Structure 1
Amino acid sequence: MSIKILLAATALCAPAAAFAQAMPGMDRGRHQRHAEPSAQAKPAPTPPAHQGSQSAPPTDPQPGLNHGAVHSTLRDPARDDAMPGMDSGAMDHGSMPGMNHAGMDMKGMKGALGGYSMMRDASGTAWQPDSSPMWAIMGKTGDWSTMIHGFVTLIQDHQGGPRGDSKTFSTSMLMGMAQRPVGRGTLTLRAMGSLDPLMGKSGYPLLLATGETADGRTELVDRQHPHDAFMELAATYSHPLGQDLSAFLYLGLPGEPALGPATYMHRFSGMANPEAPISHHWLDSTHVTFGVATAGLVYKGLKLEGSIFTGREPDERRWDIERPRMDSWSVRATVNPTTNLSLQVSHGFLNSPEGLHPEEDVRRTSASVTWNLPLGEDRNWQSTLAWGRNDPSGGEHGHKTDAFLLDSAVQFGRWTLFGRAENVDKDELFGDIHEGDPLAGKVFNVSKLSLGGYHSVPLGKVALDLGGLVSKYDLPRDIQSRYGSDPTSFMLFTRLRITG
């Protein structure tokens, strides 16, 4: 990673560190109790959270709901009144540090993959730190626990330089989940959709972004593709095998295989930023995959899993459900050694991922660490550091390319600040070699730094976010004649989201 990207990473972390040290009114004593619950506060038979605690024995699983497809988020400051009728005794508070228990009735919720806190679940079968916060509306109907989450964002986008563009567009997501006990195990159903296709097949302007196609013939370059209308339709069943040990099966059409970190849209450190990372297709682009089957084992804070799935990326027809091919595979190991830390390493084989280059296969390797730190009531800091490598074969893109990402977000009350630093090897910025551009097919190492923030206005069970961000770039001299020597991009956004 270049010296400039390291400086950018330092720039991201320094402000958050300052807030962690100097926030007025921060309740350090409360944070300490969350991070390391005392022996007196926990029931005697319950193991510590970082060892995969269960709030009920495997033979009597609690009905509940995994918020895996939920964007990892925080409770709204205006929704902190205790809910009458809440069964605090059914919860292991020590296993869910950082969560605002006072304002949320857990309805007997548990992790979808085993006997741990549901706060650990992120996108697909990915994990995040147990202390990660969340937003959602939860309920209970008979044996079913339910959850709903969603947002809609209106964005004014301006990408600078000669290859930049401007556009006003909207992104959105609505997710619903339901969970209940089945025998000795737990069944979780999940559905998530988006109206992103309404922005048009060419998506929105985003300098240095590459991946997928607008019309089946032209690669999207300096633009981010829209998400499909159907982002996840999945079912998970987990079954206890013994104390702290469980097995699970996840099926999705679409779904997300065991490859890469928790998707940027589903982790607190990444979801505050409304733009997609330019490293998306090195880290987590498989989060919408038409055909996924994942099986795995969970033992305390360790998860081992493997997937078979469809390697081809979604096509330009964003409203349909595509035919599953199940021609690719991946494996992933994840460990949560403490309540505030989650690490993963994964590797996968993607068969013919790009429709415009059907002869090319890709081996993708990823490693990441996500760190979350509760700072007190309505205050949280989370950062994710990730690396991904694409190793293609069988076509004209025969060189390995790497991507590094660091994103971070800190919330203090109604204000949230966020940042993202990236360093990526790009080989698709100027088309294919046969198209005749002298820069075509060459690998260029580019860097991007984005900083922004938003202010939240509570409106009952929803919140209105008003925010913006600015992005700067570090580009090699060979491409500055195309992009400009010092382009600047910005976004202004208004987001309405469910908070519960």
Structure 2
Amino acid sequence: MKILFTSLLAVSCIANAQDAPADNMAAPQPQEQMDHRNMDHDRKSMSAMDKGDHDTGMTGMFGSYPMTREASGTSWQPDSTPMEGIHAMRGDWMTMAHGYVNAVYDHQGGPRGDHQAFAESMLMGMAQRPLGGGTLGLRAMISLDPTIGKAGYPLLFQTGETADGRQPLINRQHPHELFMELAASYSYAIGKDSSVFVYGGLPGEPALGPTAYMHRASGMDNPEAPLTHHWLDSTHITFGVLTAGYVWRNVKLEASAFNGREPDQFRWNIETRKLDSASARLSWNPTPAWSLQVSHGRLDNPELLEPDVSVKRTTASASYEHAFGSSTSQTTLAWGRNRKDTGPSTNGFLLESALHVTAKTTVFGRFEKVDNDELFQEDAPLHGQVFNVRKLSVGVVQDLFSAGKVKFGAGALVSKHWAPSALDSVYGSNPSSYMIFFRAKLAMR
């Protein structure tokens, strides 16, 4: 984590140096006056973007719309979503840097629970510029999650991927890869209200599912991964993606060819495989407050331990951003369905929300319901049976102080699980869990 934390501070120092006044500029204003000036500038920029004022230079990579609409990969979120990270203009390049480090103590209750201290992290950079009558976009994202260990961290009722290439991970959340995204895109306007684009990544994110959970404003303050991850957005790190899309006003239609295999247990490398899977997604932002999507894809042999089983995944989601007074909130409702070539079809439902009560205090919650048939090893009596699991998590995070453009905060969450009584002898009756975490993240102010 020392490397990533140093990177956060370095980005902050660079941003502060660029913001420093030149010798021939007026003396710095009092802090209160500067804060009001920054708030006024942000409101004017956001208002201009909402009106589609392209003279601000704040349009997206894939079309002539507010850049706040773009999220992970080529996915969309509500236009009115607040802009995270540090934004700057460097010549023709418009850049953004965002990142965080969460130091977490995790305690999962019940007989199958465990406890562990770990640090999860992400650092990303984006840049775009005009080129040849269109827009060139570049994205890079890394994580030091591999330092957690191949088995990741404890998370009751979570399944998916492997730590050793022989046994599946059960009741643990796998770590992310060192390279989460290395991608480029190019878009070209073909009319006043329409554009076409191509996106490629190694790794990258195909057109399948909602915005990935660590990028959704409704979920990014929650340090634990959703149980529905492998029903909704597990393809957000895919080693080999090529996407083509068409944007018309507030509608986007896109299709991807990608590698369907999920990452293996070696988290520090870049994997190369053929593009054997495909997906398509239709997105619609009817108003600045709403973002809707439906998508479907076929994943060719996604699980390393089930090399002959492919999955057809269908998802639908809606995200709503709302501002009232000085507070803002975002809520996401999502559904995903996995239909395997062999075995049962399963569903996952998610409802999550984050309320920014003040500029420093955020309350968040998540409710999930999943059908899981992977809770037991192959030689266990209950292997292959489908169990309906529900989980409710609520938490709060408080920003404590800032150093440059790095905000430091602390938070906690508690979770309650409900499962069929047939699992009581294994998991206990309705086990509870909690996490305590300290956070450092890049922020505009």
**TM > 0.5:** yes
Cα contact 1:107–1:139 (8 A) shared by 2: no
Write the deviation string for residues 87-113 of structure 1: whole angstroms up to 9, x where unpaired.
Answer: 999x5725339xxxxxxxx97221111
Aligned to 2:384: 441
2:207 is paired with a residue whose SS is: coil
SS of the counterpart of 1:270? coil
Residue aligned with 2:256, SS: strand
Give matches, 1:56-205, under 5 Å.
Answer: 80-82=35-37, 93-96=47-50, 108-205=57-154
Counterpart AA for 2:370: V
Q: Which residue of 2 aligns with 1:406?
A: 351
CA shift for structure 1 position 81: 4.4
- Provide TM-score, normalisation by structure 1: 0.79
Tell me which residue corresponds to 2:412.
468
Deviation at 1:292, TM superposition (A): 0.4
Q: Answer whether contact 1:188 1:237 (CA < 8 A) is retained.
A: yes
1:357 to 293, 306, 321: 306
Aligned partner of residue 99 in structure 2, secondary structure: strand
Q: Alpha-carbon deviations, 1:28-63, whole Å to 9, x = none? A: xxxxxxxxxxxxxxxxxxxxxxxxxxxxxxxxxxxx
1:259 is aligned to: 208
Within a 5 Å distance, the mapping from 1:93-492 to structure 2 comes to: 93-96=47-50, 108-377=57-326, 379-393=327-341, 395=342, 398-413=343-358, 414-432=360-378, 435=379, 437-459=380-402, 460-492=404-436
Alpha-carbon distance change, 315 to 426 in structure 1, aligned in 2, over 3 angstroms: same
8 Å Cα contact 1:380-1:410 kept in structure 2: yes
Q: Which amino acid aligns with 2:422?
A: D
Shift of 1:80: 3.8
CA distance, structure 1, for counterparts of residue 150 and residue 303 of structure 2: 16
SS of the residue aligned with 2:65?
A: coil
Q: For the structure 1 residues 271 and 412, does the alpha-carbon distance in structure 2 shift closer, same or farther, using more than 3 Å as the test?
A: same
- For residues 46 and 90 of structure 2, what CA distance do their matches in structure 1 show? 22
Residues 464, 497 of structure 1: 8 Å contact kept = yes
Q: Does the 8 Å contact 1:421/1:447 carry over to 2? A: yes
Closer, same or farther in 2 for the Cα pair 1:324/1:257, shift >3 Å? Answer: same
Residue by residue over 1:375-413, the C-alpha shift from the partner in whole angstroms, topping out at 9 and shown as x without a partner, is 244x211100000000001x4xx1100000000000021
Helix, strand or coil: the match of 2:285? strand
- The verdict on how the C-alpha distance between 1:250 and 1:457 changes in structure 2, with shifts beyond 3 A counting, is same
What secondary structure, in the 3-state scheme, does the structure 2 residue paired with 1:175 have?
A: strand
| Cα separation, partners in 2 of 1:329 and 1:411, compared to 1, 3 Å | same
Query: Which residue identity is paired with 1:426?
Result: N
1:20-59 aligned at under 5 Å gives the runs none
Quick one: which amino acid aligns to residue 59 of structure 2? K
CA distance in 2, matches of 1:338, 1:192: 29
1:134 deviation in Å? 2.1
Partner secondary structure for residue 155 of structure 2: strand
**Amino acid of the structure 2 residue aligned with 1:475:** A
Secondary structure of the residue aligned to 1:403 is strand
Q: Secondary structure at the match of 1:205?
A: strand
Deviation string, structure 1 residues 219-270 (Cα, Å, up to 9, x no partner): 0000000000000000111100001100010101000000000111111101
- Match of 1:82, as an amino acid? R
User: Given that residues 101 and 439 in structure 2 are in contact (C-alpha distance below 8 angstroms), is that contact kept between their aligned partners in structure 1?
Assistant: yes
Instruction: State the AA in 1 paired with 2:415.
Output: S
* AA of the residue aligned to 1:96: D
Report the 3-state secondary structure (helix = DSSP H, G, I; strand = E; otherwise coil) of the residue aligned with 2:190. strand
Paired with 1:219 and 1:79, the residues of 2 have a C-alpha distance of 53
Letter in 2 for 1:447: R
Describe the superposition over 1:126-181 as per-residue Cα deviations: whole angstroms up to 9, x where unpaired. Answer: 00010111221122222111111110010000000000000000000111111100
**Structure 2 letter corresponding to 1:438:** P
What is the distance in 2 between the residues matched to 1:80 and 1:127?
30
AA aligned opposite 2:47: H
- 1:115 aligned counterpart, secondary structure: coil
CA–CA separation in structure 2 for the residues paired with 1:350 and 1:325: 12
| SS of 1:271 mapped into structure 2 | coil
Distance 2:34 2:340 in 1: 49
Give the aligned length. Answer: 408
Q: Could you tell me how far apart the structure 2 residues matched to 1:88 and 1:386 are?
A: 30
Provide the C-alpha distance between the structure 1 equivalents of 2:57 and 2:149, rounded to a whole number of angstroms: 41
Secondary structure of the 1:262 match is coil
The 1-side partners of 2:81 and 2:324 are apart by: 11
Secondary structure of residue in 1 paired with 2:139: strand
Name the SS for the 1:269 alignment partner. coil
Task: Output one character per residue of 1:191-220: Cα deviation in whole Å (capped at 9) or x when no partner.
Answer: 000000000000000000000000111100
Query: Is the CA contact 2:49–2:59 (under 8 Å) kept in the aligned structure 1?
Result: no
The DSSP-based 3-state class of the residue aligned with 2:425 is: helix
Aligned-partner Cα distance in 2 for 1:183–1:462: 36
3-state SS, counterpart of residue 266 of structure 1? coil
Structure 1 84/455 Cα, relative in aligned 2: closer, same or farther at 3 Å? closer
Quote the Cα distance in structure 2 between the aligned partners of 1:199 and 1:79. Answer: 41
Task: Give, in whole Å, the separation in 2 of the partners of 1:380 and 1:146.
Answer: 25
Q: Which amino acid aligns with 1:286?
A: T
Q: Distance in 2 between matches of 1:133 and 1:79?
A: 20
Moved over 6 A (4+): 84-89
Shift of 1:457: 2.1
Q: Residues 339 and 78 from structure 1, CA distance in 2 versus in 1: closer, same or farther, beyond 3 angstroms?
A: farther
The structural deviation recorded for 1:86 is 7.0
- When residues 160 and 181 of structure 1 are mapped into structure 2, their CA distance, relative to the original with a 3 A threshold, is same
